[in-house]
Amino acid sequence: MNSRRLESFSDGVFAVAMTVLVFDLLPIGKDAATAHGLTYVLLSAWPQYAAYAISFLTIGIMWLNHHTMAAHLRQVDRGLLLLNLLLLIGVVALPFPTALVAGHLNQGTPGAAKVATVTYGLVMIVISIAFGSMWLYLTSHQATLARGGRLELPRHARLRFTGGLWGYVIGTAAAFWSAAAGLVIYALLAVYYVFENLPTPSAEEEEGAADGR
Amino acid sequence: MNSRRLESFSDGVFAVAMTVLVFDLLPIGKDAATAHGLTYVLLSAWPQYAAYAISFLTIGIMWLNHHTMAAHLRQVDRGLLLLNLLLLIGVVALPFPTALVAGHLNQGTPGAAKVATVTYGLVMIVISIAFGSMWLYLTSHQATLARGGRLELPRHARLRFTGGLWGYVIGTAAAFWSAAAGLVIYALLAVYYVFENLPTPSAEEEEGAADGR
Amino acid sequence: MNSRRLESFSDGVFAVAMTVLVFDLLPIGKDAATAHGLTYVLLSAWPQYAAYAISFLTIGIMWLNHHTMAAHLRQVDRGLLLLNLLLLIGVVALPFPTALVAGHLNQGTPGAAKVATVTYGLVMIVISIAFGSMWLYLTSHQATLARGGRLELPRHARLRFTGGLWGYVIGTAAAFWSAAAGLVIYALLAVYYVFENLPTPSAEEEEGAADGR
Amino acid sequence: MNSRRLESFSDGVFAVAMTVLVFDLLPIGKDAATAHGLTYVLLSAWPQYAAYAISFLTIGIMWLNHHTMAAHLRQVDRGLLLLNLLLLIGVVALPFPTALVAGHLNQGTPGAAKVATVTYGLVMIVISIAFGSMWLYLTSHQATLARGGRLELPRHARLRFTGGLWGYVIGTAAAFWSAAAGLVIYALLAVYYVFENLPTPSAEEEEGAADGR
């Protein structure tokens, strides 16, 4: 299969998964007829906004990483498609732990906040494993799958596609001890990836890739 | 109509239908203020996760099959568009029986679990009939619709596009007797299709198809 | 603006609007713990399934009509974009009257069923006016907007893009008298358009259009 | 990164964000079993329809502005991608303040209506800042990012991409005093942008841009 269709399909899934995050915000304000008034309700929902922004950035960065990887592909085979589906299962599920964290961070018991934060980390670990597996698969099948028959990603790209796994393992472990510690690590990972700079192919090269050449 | 636009529109519908599955997960954890705590609530929701993963894989495989079929098309006519709409009606509806199965598998009466599983099978049968009809239609109109005027799919592709029907009929029949038996058959069908390997046109051939030549 | 981007954006909106229809189905079965059991709940929800199928087909046909119109465009201007936005406002809103009709057809008072059916008709009238206006606008600006500087749609295309309006006016009027009569007319309009056959440009011509030539 | 993929991804997000607005309408009519009947319920929900239409138009115009900007791009870099993500965070969040305004305009206390309208304005200010920042970034990086190495947008385009900010600051300030005043200003801004006419590149030029040349 041509890599272009994999990209456009995955783009659609990433775009919708991002948009689904707003459903974590929509119920806020429905119960505003409290003694405190709407301002209090909106301000005390700050964990929802933080969770929305972090998950949005995280999916945005995964989209970017996905594109960087796909830009080096000539075609995709069944194995890569399967790993890509596994990745998307995780990406699409992300609004679920996001809602869990947002809903239990400053409500309910401290134990519930930890459980929610650990769940978030577990989903990110599944996503990271899928991403790392795609990278390993691609490396070992570069003769048939990579553009030009050879993967020309710089060495530190390996870190980009596999390093997140260790970050999320540490974050999840920290969340067993403190929900706040886990969340800070997840947020730092998102911010790190925003600024981490991996060269992508130039417009000319990429255009060739988009044409399937 | 050019087959490219049919593909991109169908891709969009497949992508959104996949993403809608997460709405079956979102309410989990809302009622976590039970005596058992959030961990118990999350663990006892395993049928939701299983149903999510199976339906996600199933839609993913249908997307793949759809692409394999579309890659051999030169253009589409009104009849094919109608059958494609019928297919999409089923695909988009799938989150509904998925939610039914997830919600009644280990809650409520055993009878409800069977009814939910039978409903899931019936929707899959509608989808399989639409897929099989597209295949039959395409076979009988290959002179005008197929790229090169002749369908060049190998003989066992017929099994791919029609064989699922019998699998889902058997699964649905088994679900009348036992919900678990029906679900195991649906899961096996999803896994079988993941590994079943149908050659798709090479990147060069497909590129020509994408260009409508 | 190039007509290609208008098409792909509108395609996305059509695809998501179709998929949103499933949210009218998702709550069915949630209250299955009645004396009647899940089978009864599922069977008595038939208005939901009928409304889902009719609205799905209706949006599918609008997508098809939209494509037929767009295939004759060379470029789009601000006026056409505005009319297209008006059309999409109606298309995206359609799941709302669909839910109204499905929820009040065999529940509540007969008056509520009529009100819901009239609302459905009013939204379809807005959509039909937007479609008809796009057609009139396109006819009067064919020198700058049409491919080849001249709209080459056959005469009965006018009926296709404007005729639905009268059908929905009649259906809405009938719904004031009887909800069932209105719904039958809406369903007949959907089925009629499914089989009504308007020639679209051949693959070669269309390819040129897609390239913006 | 090629600007084409940024566009198609952003298009997907814009399209889904528009469609999510219908979820503000779906619950209307659910509680129709009041003494007043469904007609009263539907008519008294007019703030929902107004909010739906204004937000739909607003997102539609942002999509159009986004396209105008993107049509002048040759490629995108990390900074522009980050600003684009910030823009999309705001666009995707817009159904949230829309629901707030619709739900508190003629229900609850006047104070709640003001708070909701101020919240709407704050989200629009975030979006306007993101848009203005993209414009500034693009202006200062035109040698590498603009098609032809030079941004050829007319001078008043600056107003288009930055002027909205001041409009929304004024509207938000007015909303502290009166919710209705704020909403009228937001509606006027939407209508103004609908008719404000910025020349976009001709079809031929744009086609070149779409091809990444």
pLDDT category of residue C7 using cuts at 50, 70 and 90: confident
List the single residue in B28, B37, B203 with the smallest CB-CB distance to A111.
B37
Q: What whole-number distance in Å separates Cα of residue A54 and Cα of residue A68?
A: 21
Average pLDDT, chain A: 82
Q: Tell me which amino acid residue C30 is.
A: K
Q: Which residue of C16, C36, C38 to mutate against B (max B Cβ within 10 Å)?
A: C38
- How many other C-beta atoms can be found within 10 angstroms of the C-beta atom of residue D203? 18
Q: What whole-number distance in Å separates Cα of residue C14 and Cα of residue C4?
A: 15
- pLDDT confidence of residue A210: 43
Arithmetic mean of pLDDT, A109-137: 90
CA distance B76 to chain A (A): 19
Collect all residues of chain B within an 8 Å Cβ-Cβ radius of residue C60. 85, 88
Residue A45 pLDDT more than 90? no
Residue A193 pLDDT more than 70? yes
- pLDDT confidence of residue B177: 92
**Tokens, residue A22:** 């707003």
Q: What whole-number distance in Å separates Cα of residue B109 and Cα of residue B121?
A: 19
Residue B150 pLDDT more than 80? no
In this complex, the chains that touch C, judged by 3 or more CB pairs closer than 8 A, are B, D
Contacts (Cβ under 8 Å, ≥6 apart) of D43:
none
Return the number of CB contacts < 8 Å for B and C: 99
Residue A198 pLDDT more than 60? no
What is the interface pTM, i.e. ipTM, of the complex?
0.83
Arithmetic mean of pLDDT, C175-190: 91
- pLDDT confidence of residue A212: 40
Arithmetic mean of pLDDT, A70-77: 82
- pLDDT confidence of residue A56: 93
pLDDT category of residue B208 using cuts at 50, 70 and 90: very low
Residue C17 pLDDT more than 90? yes
Backbone angles phi, psi at C78, to 5 degrees: -60, -40
Q: What whole-number distance in Å separates Cα of residue A29 and Cα of residue D96?
A: 9
Percent of chain B exceeding pLDDT 90 equals: 31
pLDDT category of residue B197 using cuts at 50, 70 and 90: low
pLDDT category of residue B30 using cuts at 50, 70 and 90: confident
Q: Which residues of chain D have pLDDT under 70?
A: 1, 31-36, 108, 152-161, 196-213
Residue B74 pLDDT more than 50? yes
Asked if D56 lies within 8 A of C211 by C-beta distance, the reply is no
Residue A29 pLDDT more than 90? no
Calculate helix-pair angle for A95-104, A78-93, nearest 10 degrees. 20
Strands (E), chain D: none
Residue B36 pLDDT more than 70? no
Residue B211 pLDDT more than 50? no
Residues D181, D187, D191, D193, CA torsion sign: positive
CA distance C73 to chain B (A): 15
Arithmetic mean of pLDDT, A154-182: 83
- pLDDT confidence of residue C165: 87
Arithmetic mean of pLDDT, C143-154: 73
Arithmetic mean of pLDDT, C179-193: 89
- pLDDT confidence of residue D198: 53
CA distance D32 to chain A (A): 18
Task: Pick the most confident of A120-134, B183-197, C38-52, D147-161.
Answer: A120-134
Residue A202 pLDDT more than 50? no
Residue A39 · residue A70 · CB < 8 Å: no
Q: Which residue(s) pair with A146 in the sheet?
A: A73
Q: Which of residues 4-63 of D touch A (CB under 8 A)?
A: 4-5, 8-9, 12-13, 16-17, 20, 23
Helical segments of chain C, H only? 3-20, 38-43, 46-70, 78-93, 95-104, 110-140, 142-145, 157-177, 179-195, 203-210
Residue C203 pLDDT more than 60? no
Distances (CA, A) of A158 to A90, A129, A164: 20, 13, 10
Collect all residues of chain C within an 8 Å Cβ-Cβ radius of residue B95. 22, 26
Collect all residues of chain B within an 8 Å Cβ-Cβ radius of residue C202. 75
- pLDDT confidence of residue A52: 92
Least confident of A117-131, C12-26, C58-72: C58-72
- pLDDT confidence of residue D146: 78
Q: With 0.80 as the threshold, say if the pTM is over it.
A: yes
pLDDT tens profile B94-135: 999 999 998 888 776 778 889 999 999 999 999 999 988 988
Q: Which residue of D3, D8, D16, D120 to mutate against A (max A Cβ within 10 Å)?
A: D16
Residue B154 pLDDT more than 50? yes
pLDDT greater at residue D138 or residue B209: D138
Dihedral angle of Cα C2, C6, C7, C9, to the nearest 10 degrees = 140
Residue B202 pLDDT more than 50? no
Asked if C4 lies within 8 A of D39 by C-beta distance, the reply is no
Task: Pick the most confident of A49-53, A104-108, A138-142, B137-141.
Answer: A49-53
